[in-house]
């Protein structure tokens, strides 16, 4: 019996992992709504108008990225956690609001240039943002928030760390 379990586990461990990147062209947006348990990376870029879904090939098609009325929405076909399995990278320019409606992880790859950014967290999640402007946080649930703001005139960096819970 132990041999059969060991053999089965070895066969499962040898399954091949197929990596896929899906590229999506985006219409202009100023607001982001994350409705899936997924890792999201924000990339400040004035010219690139794309999003990339990358990770396990079997799961990439479960994620939908849609822009409607200036709101980019990330949604999933199933109510499962995609964290650690998939990542959505989004090029942003002058983002004004982020609504996090799932246990998502959101981080900025570089400094966001939005003068004011409002983040509303409706559930558990974590957030790591660097910004040249002001970021306000509101919401419910347990959150880990780390933000970094760089002052334009002095180049001084100001770090903010918050653990928010209701």
Structural domain contains residue 8: no
Rounded distance, CA 94 to CA 45, Å? 9
Please list, in sequence order, all residues whose beta carbon lies within 8 angstroms of the beta carbon of residue 156, skipping any fewer than 6 positions away. 150
pLDDT of residue 15: 66
CATH number, residue 103: 2.160.20.120
93's tokens: 């320019």
Rounded distance, CA 6 to CA 12, Å? 10
% of residues, the chain, pLDDT over 90: 66
Taking the model in full, what pTM does it have? 0.80
Structural domain contains residue 111: yes
- DSSP lists the bridge partners of residue 44 as 92
Identify the weakest region by mean pLDDT among 62-71, 98-107, 119-128. Answer: 119-128
- Could you tell me the residue range of the domain that residue 69 belongs to? 19-164
């Amino acid at each position: 019996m132990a041999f059969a379990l060991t053999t089965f586990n070895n066969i499962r461990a040898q399954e091949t992992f197929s990596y896929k990147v899906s590229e999506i062209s985006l219409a202009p947006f100023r607001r982001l709504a994350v409705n899936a348990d997924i890792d999201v990376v924000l990339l400040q870029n004035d010219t690139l108008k794309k999003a990339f879904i990358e990770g396990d090939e079997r799961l990439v098609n479960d994620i939908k990225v849609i822009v409607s009325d200036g709101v980019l929405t990330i949604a999933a076909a199933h109510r499962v956690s995609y964290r650690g399995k998939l990542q959505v990278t989004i090029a942003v320019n002058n983002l004004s609001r982020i609504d996090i409606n799932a246990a998502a992880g959101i981080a900025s790859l570089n400094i966001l240039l939005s003068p004011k950014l409002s983040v509303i967290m409706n559930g558990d999640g974590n957030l790591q943002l660097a910004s040249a402007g002001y970021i306000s946080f509101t919401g419910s649930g347990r959150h880990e928030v780390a933000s970094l703001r760089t002052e334009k005139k002095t180049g001084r960096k100001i770090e903010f760390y918050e653990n928010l819970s209701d």
